[in-house]
Amino acid sequence: MLKKIGLTILAIILAYNTIKLVMVFADLNPNKFSLFAILVSSFAFNLMITGVFAFLGFAFPTSNILPNTYYKIRKPETIDFLYKMFGVKYFKLFLLKTFYRKEDNKKYFNGTKAGIISFDFQTKQSEFGHLLAFLVIQLLALYLLSIGFVSIFFHTTLMNIILNFYPIILQRKHRIQIERLLKRASC
């Protein structure tokens, strides 16, 4: 219970600071930003908004907000195409070399049927958090574009694709394999 409260408070703090930062931008001159300021701002928006949904996802089963039909993979060939077209396999390799080393993977999938079901839940949680973050960040980027922050719009969008769209495709790709494993396990 204490963990849920703490994570919720962290999410609220990040949301509050994001709103405050957006309000500051309304009073700034877009032409006065250096490349460094543009990159830091774009990264901050992505990190804070993604953090809001990540902390909430760590505290609550947020993926349950969407119906199970959303998570069902209807056209795996489309996911495969996007996976290849955007080079998501390189993103996956980066994650495996940095954040999710082989010894850490056992906590996500231990090879049992219960492990498959748990991994399925984790992919849904991750996808939901990244999906909401992707949408909110893109709305924010469009707002920034509308008030003249063209460079921040483009950098924020690029980072959003890498930090949120790629993980969405990766989680959907995982669920293609999970669905196959669950079909085999139920036979």
| Cβ contact 155:40 at 8 Å | no
Backbone torsion region of residue 112, taken as left when φ is above 0, otherwise alpha when ψ lies between -120 and 50, otherwise beta: beta
Q: What's the pTM?
A: 0.89
Predicted confidence at residue 107, as pLDDT, reads 57
Backbone torsion region of residue 73, taken as left when φ is above 0, otherwise alpha when ψ lies between -120 and 50, otherwise beta: beta
Domains of the chain, residue spans: 2-186
Average pLDDT over residues 44-60: 96
Predicted confidence at residue 87, as pLDDT, reads 93
Q: Which residue has the higher pLDDT, 133 or 118?
A: 133
Kindly tell me if the per-residue pLDDT of 104 is higher than 60. Answer: no
| Distance separating alpha carbons of residues 87 and 101, to the nearest angstrom | 20
The span from the first CA to the last CA of the chain, in angstroms, equals: 39
Predicted confidence at residue 116, as pLDDT, reads 84
| Per-residue pLDDT band at 108 (split at 50, 70, 90) | low
Average pLDDT over residues 6-12: 96
